[in-house]
Structure 1
Amino acid sequence: MIRRRAFEAAQPPPARPIDENPARRVEAKYLHLWATSMRDLPFINPALSVEAIGFRRYGSGDRSMADPATDDNAGDWIGAIITPWLIGLLLLPGGGILWSDRRPGDRCHVEFPIGPVEFIADYEPDAELPACQYCPLFAPPSSLSSQAAAQAAATAALAALLTGTGLRGSPGRQPAVERRESSRRAFLRRFAKV
């Protein structure tokens, strides 16, 4: 017997690569969400405001990871978003190898130096940025007391994601599947204490 979803969103059109740094557009999208649908929800953190953090290109088309210090025009966009209801990583299309077109709600694992990280596809045809994929880090971000703490957590998450540093333990002694899951748990747990 094959299980099927009760509802499956339609496949969106292929995402167009973004040429310029998307930080301004990311903030516009989330400010619009804040103003139209999120402001009155009970789980928001009033100490936080909408801010895009650290957007850079990563994952060039030649199947090697681009170094943002030397290669400004290669790869997809990776960065973080801070909002009063969510702090997360965002992946946006930039012409690299990380992005894959997905139905809204679909999950995919994207390989980074820290290991595979799960992203969830989102598509809103009329939004400032129609297609994105996000990985929630804090949802809701109630444990963070200030915008500065949220900025520090988002910056540290991006640094760990892109360099693979900051993991504890000895992953070399674990089977590959355990090592990946352990890395992901350690990655996410590290920021729960900020």
Structure 2
Amino acid sequence: MTAEVAAHRDVEARAAGEAVAAIYRAAVPAMRDLPVFNPALDVAAIGFRALDDHAFGVIVTPWFMNLVRLPLDPATAGRSQGEVVTRVLPVGALEFTAGQLDGIGGIESCSLFSPMFDFADQSAAEAAAEAALAAVLEPEQVADETSPSQAPSKMATTLDRRGLLRGAWMERRP
């Protein structure tokens, strides 16, 4: 893939992330009165990029934070709603749950946080999202930046969200 094609795919991925965020922004009024809603937070698409012909990034809402994977070519989406699929990423294998979003189509999500009450403000939530994304996609770099006791295991083949977050974002949390 040429650098020009890769750059174009990243632009597509960022647009896909923003389209997903727009759907969740539209849901904010309906969610506002639920007990899982953190009024200090907004919806944001964090770090979306092309990864294996999919848009990959983090969606932050006032009620959850998820890793999100969706096809850049919607015709390739073929998972059943609720199906759990294991995806191998640089950090190891993570489980994603398939779903459908009106106006988007197929989407896969891996929960990082829900509810979001541990975050005092949007900048803290976005910093955690960026750190989680770095830990998933660049685990060796994150390991180099954290103390040995907090570094994610390079031997791990699977990683749950607690392990991911304990080793990655706790060091950087504001």
- Normalising by the smaller structure, the TM-score range is 0.7 to 0.9
Paired positions, count: 151
Q: CA deviation at 1:191?
A: 5.8
> Between Structure 1 and Structure 2, whose CA radius of gyration is higher?
1
Higher helix share: 2
For residue 29 of structure 1, give the secondary structure of its aligned residue in structure 2.
helix
- Conserved in 1, the CA contact under 8 Å of 2:94 and 2:159? no
**The one of 135, 139, 144 aligned to 1:160:** 135
- Structure 1: unaligned runs, 5 residues or longer: 1-18, 60-74, 173-178
How far off is 1:183 after superposition? 7.0
Shift of 1:131: 1.6
Matches within 5 A, 1:44-193: 44-59=37-52, 75-95=53-73, 101-124=78-101, 127-165=102-140, 166-167=142-143, 168=151, 171-172=154-155, 179-181=156-158, 185-190=162-167, 193=170
Q: Distance in 2 between matches of 1:170 and 1:23?
A: 29
Partner SS for 1:120: strand
How much has 1:192 moved relative to structure 2? 7.0
The whole-number CA distance in structure 2 between the counterparts of 1:32 and 1:170 is: 39
Q: Judging changes above 3 Å, is the alpha-carbon distance between structure 1 residues 87 and 164 closer, same or farther for their aligned structure 2 residues? A: same
Following superposition, the deviation at residue 128 of structure 1 comes to 2.6
What is the identity, as a one-letter code, of the residue corresponding to 1:101? G
What amino acid sits opposite 2:21 in the alignment?
E
Given the two structures, how large is their TM-score scaled by the length of structure 2?
A: 0.76
Stretches of 4+ aligned residues off by more than 3 angstroms: 169-172, 181-185, 190-194
Instruction: For residue 30 of structure 1, give the secondary structure of its aligned residue in structure 2.
Output: helix
Following superposition, the deviation at residue 109 of structure 1 comes to: 0.8
Normalized per residue, the structure richer in strand is 2
Unaligned runs of 5+ in 2: 1-10, 144-150
Identity rate of aligned residues, in percent? 37
Task: Give the alignment's TM-score, normalised by structure 1.
Answer: 0.68
Distance 2:47 2:153 in 1: 29
